[in-house]
C-alpha cells in the first residue's frame, strides 16, 4: 500500500485547520485519497482496519508496544462504531491515516447517529467482583488509555474520531 | 484473521490454549470453549496464552463470562500472556480475580 499524506497532513496540522478539512478536502483531493480505507460497518471488516493501522504504524516506525496499542485503540473504536453506532443498520466507515514528523494519526468517520465515543466510556469498576461486572464501555476505555490523544468532532453531521500516537524523538 | 482455541480436560483441570488474535470477530469461539470447560466439573481453569498475539476487549468479555460460569471456588489462571495482553487484563482490573502467571 502506498501512502500519500501531503494534503491530509497539512489539513490536520492544527485544530482550526482540522475543522476546515471537509471543504479543503473537496478542493484539494476530488477522489478518495489512496490512504483512506472505506469499509462496510461489519465485524468482518475489522481485519482490514487492523491491517491498515499496522501497515501505517510500521511505516512510521512506531515501536512494537506503541504499534500494538494503536491497533488496539483503532480496533476498539471500529468495533464501537459497528456495534453501538450503526447497530443493525448497514453503513460505511472511512479510515484515514497519516504520518507526521512527530506522530501518527488515524481518523475514523461514520454516518451513524451523532455520538462521542468518550461518552460511552466507563473505567472498570475495580471494587465490584469480576463476576458482577458490567463491562460495556470497557473497549472505549482501553482505546482512550492506549493512545496519546483521542479526539472527537461532529463535522457536517458525521462522527469524526482521531487517534494520535506520538513517535519517539529521534536524536 | 487467524485464531485457534483448544480445550483439554484432565485431573479436574481444564486447559484452554489460545493461539493468534482474539477480537470481536473471533471471541465467539473462545466464549463457546469457556462454556464447554465450565461444564466439565473442573476445579481449575488454566488459559495458556503464550501464543496469543493480540487481545481486544471482546476477550475480556469472555473472561468475565468464565468467572461467572466457573463458580467462585474454581481458580482461573492465565499463563504466559505477552506484555500488552497482560497490560489489557491489568488495565481492566481483572488480575484481582484471575491469576496472571509468567506474564
Q: Is A7 helix (H, G, I), strand (E, B) or coil?
A: helix
Q: What's the pLDDT at A35?
A: 80
All three cell numbers of B39: 461444564
Residues of chain A positioned with their CB less than 8 A from the CB of B94: 130
Better-scored residue on pLDDT, A145 or A12: A145
Q: What's the pLDDT at A82?
A: 95
Q: Is the pLDDT confidence value at A109 over 60?
A: yes
With cut-offs at 50, 70 and 90, classify the pLDDT of residue A121: confident
Q: What's the pLDDT at B37?
A: 94
Residues of chain B positioned with their CB less than 8 A from the CB of A141: 91
Q: Is the pLDDT confidence value at A86 over 50?
A: yes
Let me know: does B97 contact B67? Beta carbons within 8 Å. yes
With cut-offs at 50, 70 and 90, classify the pLDDT of residue A122: confident
CA-only gyration radius of chain A, Å: 16
pTM of the model: 0.85
Average pLDDT along chain B? 94
Let me know: does A5 contact A60? Beta carbons within 8 Å. no
Better-scored residue on pLDDT, B95 or A170: B95
Q: Is A43 helix (H, G, I), strand (E, B) or coil?
A: helix
Q: Give the integer Cα–Cα distance in Å for B38 and A125.
A: 25
Q: What's the pLDDT at A169?
A: 86
Residues of chain B positioned with their CB less than 8 A from the CB of A65: 83-84
Q: Is the pLDDT confidence value at A1 over 70?
A: no
Q: Give the integer Cα–Cα distance in Å for A99 and A79.
A: 23
Best mutation site among A45, A131, A134 for testing chain B: the one with the most B CBs within 10 Å? A131
pLDDT tens-digit profile of B47-66? 999 999 999 999 999 999 99
Let me know: does B84 contact A68? Beta carbons within 8 Å. yes
The nearest CA of chain A is from the CA of B29 a distance in Å of 14
Mean pLDDT of B4-33: 95
Best mutation site among B21, B23, B66, B95 for testing chain A: the one with the most A CBs within 10 Å? B23
Let me know: does A44 contact B25? Beta carbons within 8 Å. yes
With cut-offs at 50, 70 and 90, classify the pLDDT of residue B78: very high
Task: Give the one of B23, B56, B94 whose C-beta lies nearest to A130's C-beta.
Answer: B94
All three cell numbers of A28: 484539494
Of A20-24, A140-144, A150-154, the least confident: A20-24
pLDDT tens-digit profile of A44-73? 999 999 999 999 999 999 999 999 999 999
Q: Checking DSSP bridges between strand A149-155 and strand A103-110, what pairing results, if any?
A: unpaired
Let me know: does B79 contact B101? Beta carbons within 8 Å. yes
Residues of chain A positioned with their CB less than 8 A from the CB of B67: 130-131
Q: What's the pLDDT at A31?
A: 54
All three cell numbers of A84: 453501538
How many of the other CB atoms lie within 10 Å of CB of A4?
Answer: 12
Q: Is the pLDDT confidence value at A25 over 80?
A: no
Q: What's the pLDDT at A18?
A: 44
HSE, side-chain direction, 13 A CA sphere, residue A125: 11
Mean pLDDT of B8-21: 96
Q: Give the integer Cα–Cα distance in Å for A169 and A44.
A: 36
**Cα B52 to the center of its chain, rounded Å:** 10
Q: What's the pLDDT at A61?
A: 95
All three cell numbers of B64: 468475565
Instruction: Find the closest chain B residue to A75 by CA distance.
Output: B56
Residues of chain A positioned with their CB less than 8 A from the CB of B60: 135, 138
DSSP class per residue in B35-102: HHHHTTT-SEEEEEEEEEEEE-HHHHHHHHHHHHHH-TTSEEEEES--HHHHHHHHHTTGGGTSEEE-
With cut-offs at 50, 70 and 90, classify the pLDDT of residue B7: very high
Let me know: does A79 contact A30? Beta carbons within 8 Å. no
A154-to-A36, A70, A159, B54 alpha-carbon distances in Å: 19, 22, 5, 31
The nearest CA of chain B is from the CA of A137 a distance in Å of 9
Let me know: does B81 contact B100? Beta carbons within 8 Å. yes
Best mutation site among A130, A140, A145 for testing chain B: the one with the most B CBs within 10 Å? A130
How many of the other CB atoms lie within 10 Å of CB of A24?
Answer: 15
Q: What's the pLDDT at A19?
A: 44
Q: Is the pLDDT confidence value at B26 over 80?
A: yes
Q: Is the pLDDT confidence value at A113 over 60?
A: yes
Amino acid at each position: 500500500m502506498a501512502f500519500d499524506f501531503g494534503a491530509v497532513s497539512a489539513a490536520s496540522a492544527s485544530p482550526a485547520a482540522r475543522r476546515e478539512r471537509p471543504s479543503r478536502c473537496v478542493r484539494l483531493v476530488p477522489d478518495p485519497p489512496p490512504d483512506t480505507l472505506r469499509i462496510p460497518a461489519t465485524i468482518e471488516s475489522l481485519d482490514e482496519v487492523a491491517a491498515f493501522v499496522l501497515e501505517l504504524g510500521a511505516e512510521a516506525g512506531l515501536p512494537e508496544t506503541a504499534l500494538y496499542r494503536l491497533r488496539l485503540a483503532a480496533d476498539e473504536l471500529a468495533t464501537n462504531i459497528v456495534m453501538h453506532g450503526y447497530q443493525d443498520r448497514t453503513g460505511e466507515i472511512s479510515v484515514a491515516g497519516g504520518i507526521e514528523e512527530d506522530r501518527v494519526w488515524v481518523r475514523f468517520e461514520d454516518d451513524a447517529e451523532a455520538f462521542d465515543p468518550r461518552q460511552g466510556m466507563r473505567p472498570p469498576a475495580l471494587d465490584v467482583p469480576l463476576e458482577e461486572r458490567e463491562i460495556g464501555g470497557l473497549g472505549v476505555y482501553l482505546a482512550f488509555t492506549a493512545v496519546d490523544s483521542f479526539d472527537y468532532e461532529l463535522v457536517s453531521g458525521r462522527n469524526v474520531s482521531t487517534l494520535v500516537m506520538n513517535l519517539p524523538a529521534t536524536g | 484473521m487467524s485464531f485457534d482455541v483448544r480445550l483439554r480436560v484432565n485431573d479436574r483441570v481444564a486447559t484452554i490454549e489460545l493461539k493468534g488474535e482474539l477480537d470481536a470477530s473471533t471471541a465467539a469461539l473462545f466464549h463457546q470453549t469457556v462454556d464447554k470447560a465450565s461444564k466439565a466439573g473442573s476445579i481449575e481453569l488454566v488459559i495458556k496464552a503464550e501464543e496469543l498475539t493480540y487481545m481486544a476487549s471482546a476477550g475480556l468479555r469472555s473472561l468475565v463470562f468464565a468467572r461467572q460460569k466457573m463458580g467462585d471456588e474454581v481458580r482461573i489462571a492465565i499463563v504466559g500472556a505477552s506484555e500488552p495482553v497482560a497490560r489489557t487484563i491489568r488495565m481492566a482490573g481483572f488480575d484481582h480475580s484471575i491469576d496472571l502467571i509468567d506474564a
